[in-house]
A = this chain, B = another copy of it.
């Protein structure tokens, strides 16, 4: 379920980047500091019938942006992705899901650092799971939140 206050922003997150939109990525659950997304197998298979590596990357990469939207003050901070590693542990033969969350303490600490230093890195260690709850891919990434400069339009 998507919390009502995040409805508009979640739609924009899915639709404002064509490369994300065309995968059919879905947000299943979204609330304060928590997101669960789903990448459908349909439309994302490779030539041997398993999920394409790039679509697994997309659900991982999206997590850094969506957790930003529900954890930080998006009127004052915007996210960038610095680096991502993805390990393909086993073939993904079903739709896959990914959960990402921050505690209030984690989110507050990151935003406080960005408040002070204009920017703050955050890391996410993520597990992409198939419908049998097996981990198909492991994602480790570094994102950064930055203070929005005066006059800069970074709305999504």
Contact = CB atoms under 8 A, between A and B. Distances in A.
Interface of A: 12, 16-20, 22-23, 43-48, 52-55, 57-58, 61, 80-88, 154, 156
Secondary structure call for the A interface: mixed
Number of copies of this protein chain within its complex:
2
Nearest to A23: B19
A84 B89 CA distance: 12
A84 B82 contact: no
Given A82-B87, A83-B87, A19 B54 contact: yes
B54 A54 contact: yes
A52 B19 contact: yes
Contacts of A81: 53, 88
Contacts of A12: 47
